[in-house]
Amino acid sequence: MIDVIQIVFGVVLIIIMAKGCWVSSQILTERSQLRKFTGAYYDFEINEELKERGLSRQEALDIINGDNV
């Protein structure tokens, strides 16, 4: 019985960790796209550049991905 509980716990833990890796990779991909779009490197510089252009992060990502033409 203990083996079953350990396996279930391990599987649940691996699923949670995989979800965390997926979210992290999405955040890093978005940041990379925004860096190329704005020419700024750090998050606060990216935010300032987008503010000057009158765009939110999501609006800029939509433009980059071609969703908002």
**pLDDT of res. 65:** 87
Token pair listed for 12: 């649940």
Q: Which two tokens stand for residue 47?
A: 């935010």
| Parent domain of 52 | 2-65
Structural domains in the chain (count): 1
Confidence category of residue 69, pLDDT binned at 50, 70, 90: low
Q: In sequence order, what E strands does the chain have?
A: none
Assign 18 a pLDDT band (cuts: 50, 70, 90): very high
The amino acid occupying position 39 is G
Mean pLDDT of all residues in 11-19? 98
Q: pLDDT value at position 7?
A: 97
What's this model's pTM, rounded to 2 decimal places? 0.74
- Closest of 33, 27, 21 to residue 61, by C-alpha: 33
